[in-house]
A = this chain, B = another copy of it.
Amino acid sequence: MGSAMATPLAFEPHNHAECVADALITAERRCRETGARLTPQRRRVLEILLESHRALGAYELLSRLADEGRAVQPTIVYRALDFLVAQGLVHKIARLSAFVACTRPKSGHGPAFLVCRACRGVAEAELDAVQGALDMLAKESGFALELMVLEAEGLCPGCRPAA
Q: Least Cβ distance of A107 to chain B in Å?
A: 16
Interface residues on A, range: 35 or more
A112 within 8 A of B: yes
Please tell me which one of the listed residues B4, B134, B143, B145 contacts residue A133 in the complex, with CB atoms under 8 A apart.
B4
A23 within 8 A of B: no
A137/B5 in contact, CB under 8 A: yes
A35 within 8 A of B: no
Residues in chain B near residue A1, CB distance under 8 A: 1-2
A86 within 8 A of B: no
Residue with the greatest number of chain B CB neighbours at <10 A, chosen from A1, A145, A148, A157: A148
Q: Please provide the chain A residues from 87 to 133 with a CB less than 8 Å away from any CB of chain B in the complex.
A: 94-95, 110, 112, 114, 116-117, 123, 125, 127, 129-130, 132-133
A150 within 8 A of B: yes
Copies of this protein chain in the complex: 2
B129/A141 in contact, CB under 8 A: no
16 A–B pairs (Cβ distance < 8 Å), ordered by A: A1-B2, A3-B133, A4-B133, A11-B142, A114-B141, A114-B143, A114-B145, A127-B133, A138-B154, A141-B157, A144-B160, A144-B163, A145-B152, A145-B154, A147-B154, A150-B150
- 18 additional contacts (CB under 8 A) given A141-B157, A142-B157, A146-B152: A2-B2, A2-B133, A4-B133, A5-B137, A8-B140, A11-B142, A11-B143, A94-B95, A95-B149, A117-B146, A127-B130, A130-B133, A134-B150, A142-B156, A143-B154, A146-B154, A147-B154, A148-B153
